Structure 1
Amino acid sequence: MLSETVFRSEDFAVGDRFDAWQECTSRMHAPLELSRDHTGDFRADARLIRLGAVSVWPAAFEQHVWRRTPKLIRQSDPELYHLSLVLRGEARVSWGTRNVTHRAYDFHTNDSARPWEIRTSDGLIKSVGIEVPKALLPLPRHQVDRVIGQRMSGREGIGSLLAQFVTRLVADTDSYQPADAPRIGTVLSDLVTALFAQILDADASLPPETHSRALTLRIKAFIRRHLHDPELTPGAIATAHHISRSYLHRLFQAESETVAAYIRRLRLEAARRDLTDPAWRTAPIHAIAARWGFCRPADFSRAFRIAYGISPKDHRHQAFQAQPG
């Protein structure tokens, strides 16, 4: 199970709930100034899920206004990019004279170094926030500045992939081990980078290396979506992205592994998780292998032993022996 910090307004006296919420959100993100249009009781629930340097916080709360002011920025700047996926309600975000309204399955973005104001609609708002350190995004900051403040869809393309990933993650953190947290954080930062790069890729004035990086990130996202497909090969990937196989291999020369090695590693990692997942405890090992694109059990066993120094059967046996009960 992933480690979580939980906030519930009902744990506080009625008169203290909004102040407690302001303190909570300031710890989760950066110092914030909060205010309300309505007096009386206030309801809010949130969870902070730390994934290495990245964090995610699903939340539900009633109408209020959030402000990140120049004074608060001078007080503290954690150097973060923030994305929020709106799941219910509306949020009107302002940067000076610029205003954008975000609705269900829109992402809005903020930079902890820039002042902004968010005014949410009446009723209960639901969202999932993602905090990514700026240092983790391999895109020049002056280029990311073009993305911040844009409304990005969580219903199509890479935005949809990110929305699906983060909503599934927060819906069931019990299926992950604490050691998985940094790896999940890496996947999230890659998806955020890919989403930003997709928008930047449409800008013809950007240098060729930025376009190449954006294409590589889109290809990696495509690979993750199709890991189950045994026909996922460099040739199929190149065809799906309208590039040659030689160009695909050139793109991965800047990475630490080849295309085929990248696919194999992700598949082995996924199969390794399933082998220790109680939900798959009775599934035959060859079925788990096939689920992740390994058609021949012998090939899977050999690749697993090379990668982890143990057979799939022994890995599963040791994992379940170590679990209580």
Structure 2
Amino acid sequence: MHGTGAEADGARGVFEVDSTAPGSAPRGLDAFRRGWETQVGDDVFQLPAFSPDTIGDFRVKGNVAKVHGAAIADLHAASATRTADVPGGDQDLVAMYVVRRGSWTLGGPPGHGDQTVSAGQFLVRHLGRLTAFETSAHLTAKFLVLPSSELKPLLGTRVVTGPADSAEMRLLTALTDMIHTTVADLGPAGVVAAQGTLIELTKAVAKGRFDDVEPRLAPALTQAAKDLANRRLADPELSPAMLARELSVSVRTLHRAFAAVGEQVTTYIRHRRLHEARLALVAPSGRLTISELAAHWQFADGSHFTRAFKKRYGQTPTEYARSTEATSPPPSHSLADSAWPAVRA
């Protein structure tokens, strides 16, 4: 094991361990635990007790860096690892697992099942206590521990998963690689800044690629909301509040994003529903009544649907269906229709 001493205030630390050589265990696990406790500290993350099999065959190498109240571990494990039956005590932190090879199975909170992070995926969640875990042999993974104060309100009880090669994850991974190479030389201000940047990028990952207050990203947020609305058009729960909740932003932020591109959330939903109802009016595979269309596309009743349709298209639904039958073949439901740019007021 190689290491550098942590600063007096415990703001940083870095160590390396390699116990992959034959005959190095259990000394390898002891060295890893000593390095973690000395350079990172139980105040950041308390290592759990491991199973006897893990202690007897611990072939892991990796680099670990501490930056203020966060820690980054890049791990390459030739052997499988498993915690003991009682993983440990209470904690209050956010953990991220990024798996490149192999798998990492995590014990879920009470009442929930285990969660497995497969190769090419990440998982981030708040931990209120230590939970059991297992890793496969031949694991390559990154493990991040972050303070919970800013991230816990965003995550709540959610478990956020996704591809490890998303743009946000690539940026976060690049930052962790840079921290590994520079942390030993960083001053106190640099250490704090490194932790802050880790937290901000983790927020971006958890929010799904947009910042709650960044106006330049309004088009991305608006498009994400439209894509979600398009998939849920017949859902009676579809609303600005539901979209905001699913996208992890405030309703006010969602309205601001639509306003920035000259639209309104409720208008978009109504127009998309009317567009789908218009297609259904002339569908060759059988037609619904006006009342059935109104109910399916979440209008209060047939009269409300008829008024909204006439305001949008200048004809009642019945008039539109008759005129279309007489003058032209029915419109097709193309990819452009479902994406909505071709239909305008």
Compute the TM-score of the two structures, normalised by the length of structure 1.
0.52
**Residues 202-257 of structure 1: CA deviation (Å, up to 9, x unaligned):** 782756996159979xxxxxxxxxxxxxxxxxxxxx9xx7762899xxxxxxxxxx
C-alpha separation between the residues in 2 aligned to 1:183 and 1:136? 15
Q: Secondary structure at the match of 1:190?
A: helix
Q: Which amino acid aligns with 2:191?
A: A
> Is the 2:104–2:135 contact (alpha carbons within 8 Å) kept by the matching residues of 1?
yes
Q: Which of 144, 154, 161 is residue 151 of structure 1 equivalent to?
A: 161
1:131 correspondence with 2:142? no
C-alpha separation between the residues in 1 aligned to 2:247 and 2:116? 33
C-alpha separation between the residues in 1 aligned to 2:69 and 2:62? 19
Alignment of 1:81-96 (within 5 A): 81-95=94-108
Shift of 1:119: 1.2
Q: Which of 47, 64, 82 is residue 65 of structure 1 equivalent to?
A: 82
1:16 correspondence with 2:23? no
Identify the residue that residue 173 of structure 1 maps to in structure 2. 182
> Is the 1:107–1:154 contact (alpha carbons within 8 Å) kept by the matching residues of 2?
yes
**Structure with bigger RCO (C-alpha 8 Å, 6+ apart):** 1
Q: Which of 192, 207, 210 is residue 197 of structure 1 equivalent to?
A: 207
C-alpha separation between the residues in 2 aligned to 1:154 and 1:204? 27
1:109 correspondence with 2:119? no
Shift of 1:103: 2.3
Q: Which amino acid aligns with 2:116?
A: T
Compute the TM-score of the two structures, normalised by the length of structure 2.
0.49
Shift of 1:155: 1.5
Pair 1:116–1:176, CA change in 2 (3 A): same
Q: Which amino acid aligns with 1:6?
A: F
Pair 1:158–1:147, CA change in 2 (3 A): farther
- For the aligned residues, what is the CA RMSD? 4.4
C-alpha separation between the residues in 1 aligned to 2:190 and 2:196? 10
> Is the 1:68–1:115 contact (alpha carbons within 8 Å) kept by the matching residues of 2?
no
> Is the 1:22–1:34 contact (alpha carbons within 8 Å) kept by the matching residues of 2?
no
Identify the residue that residue 80 of structure 1 maps to in structure 2. 93
C-alpha separation between the residues in 2 aligned to 1:213 and 1:174? 39
Shift of 1:63: 1.3
Q: Secondary structure at the match of 2:203?
A: helix
> Is the 1:153–1:160 contact (alpha carbons within 8 Å) kept by the matching residues of 2?
no
> Is the 1:73–1:112 contact (alpha carbons within 8 Å) kept by the matching residues of 2?
no
Q: Which has the larger radius of gyration?
A: 2
User: How many residues are treated as equivalent by the alignment?
Assistant: 214
Segments of structure 2 that go 5 or more residues without pairing to the other structure are: 7-11, 213-220, 226-240, 264-345
Shift of 1:191: 0.9
Which sits farther off after the overlay, 184-193 or 199-208?
199-208
Q: Which amino acid aligns with 1:132?
A: L
**Residues 113-149 of structure 1: CA deviation (Å, up to 9, x unaligned):** 13522211122x2222221111133x62xx513323x
Pair 1:67–1:155, CA change in 2 (3 A): farther
Q: Which of 59, 62, 68 is residue 52 of structure 1 equivalent to?
A: 68
